[in-house]
Amino acid sequence: MREFEGMLDALKVNAFEWAKQIVLAIVIFWIGMRVVKVMMRAVTKALALRDVDASLTTFLQSLLKIALQAVVVIATINQLGVETTSIVAILGAAGLAVGMALSGTLQNFAGGAMILMFKPFKVGDFIEAQGYSGTVKSIQIFTTILTTPDNKQIVIPNGGLSNGSLINYSAETTRRQEWTFGIGYGDDVEKAKSIIKNIIAADERVLKEPEGLIEISALADSSVHIVVRAWVASENFWALYYSVTTEVYKAFNAEGISIPFPQMDVHLQK
């Protein structure tokens, strides 16, 4: 009888200890989750003040929330008396194995985060990178999608984009356009330059500043090359190029300025 009473007393003590641990675990879990919410609100405000891209904001919020909640869960399990060291070790080993298996994917994942954070380009920009060029259609976590001028879709992993060199043709509001026109050696160079100057001056898309250039650039085998440089708003870059090229061709023909083409004289000996 005394043994039974002793077992009963021990059970009561243990039950009390278990109940206390469960209550403390519940309190830790409840307070921890509330702290996570407060921290997430603070992080959201901080990202908004730094004007971080919306896609990156969502990604960082999800990643940080999962990490903080994992810490709370581990602390709760530890309060219940469960040994968490082995659990953390198992999770760490599993994470290492997955990381090694998905090293390329993780590199692209990190590259996407870097692109969204530092913004070397944005949706709508025309870029050249990794041997491809096109307009940025979308920036995703693992890849960036480009659309070529002939409407082909190019998918480029973000790892290479974030680590390699690229050209962003849309980064600046103005660009310098350049033409090279060839005239015959017997033609009036000053007249040809004057024709080009008038065409450039008449086009409202050409910017007055910085000042352009119209000069002889080379004495080629069959023609004198005249280089023309003018500054233009980036959105008018190609439209101006085609327009001026067409107008110069028409004006040269109308004013008797020849446009040489490669030719070969063949002499036959009998």
Question: In the chain, where are the structural domains located?
Answer: 2-101, 120-168, 174-255
- The third-level CATH classification (topology) of the domain covering 174-255 is Alpha-Beta Plaits (3.30.70)
Q: What is the mean pLDDT of each run of 10 residues along the chain (270 residues)?
A: 55 66 83 88 81 64 78 79 62 56 68 83 91 89 89 92 90 95 93 96 94 94 93 94 96 92 70
The dihedral region occupied by 214, where left means phi > 0, alpha psi between -120 and 50, and beta the remainder, is beta
Do 112 and 139 form a contact (C-beta atoms < 8 A)?
Answer: yes
SS3 64: helix
Q: Give the pLDDT score at 86.
A: 58
Query: What residues have CB less than 8 Å from 225, skipping those under 6 apart?
Result: 180, 181, 182, 216, 217, 218, 219
Q: What is the pTM of this model?
A: 0.61
Q: Is the previous residue joined to 210 through a cis bond, with omega within 30 degrees of 0?
A: yes
* CATH number for domain 2-101, candidates 1.10.287.1260, 3.40.50.720, 3.40.190.10, 1.25.40.10: 1.10.287.1260
Q: Give the pLDDT score at 196.
A: 96
Nearest to 178, CA basis, from 218, 230, 126: 230
- What token pair was written down for 17? 């200890």
| CATH class given for the domain over 120-168 | mainly beta
Distance, in Å, from the CA atom of 256 to the CA atom of 183, rounded to the nearest integer, reads 10
Q: Give the pLDDT score at 138.
A: 85
Distance, in Å, from the CA atom of 112 to the CA atom of 68, rounded to the nearest integer, reads 22
Do 127 and 117 form a contact (C-beta atoms < 8 A)?
Answer: no
Nearest to 53, CA basis, from 125, 140, 137, 129: 140
Q: Give the pLDDT score at 25.
A: 81
- What token pair was written down for 28? 């830790």
Q: Give the pLDDT score at 101.
A: 45
Do 259 and 214 form a contact (C-beta atoms < 8 A)?
Answer: no
Q: Give the pLDDT score at 193.
A: 96
Gyration radius from the chain CA atoms? 35
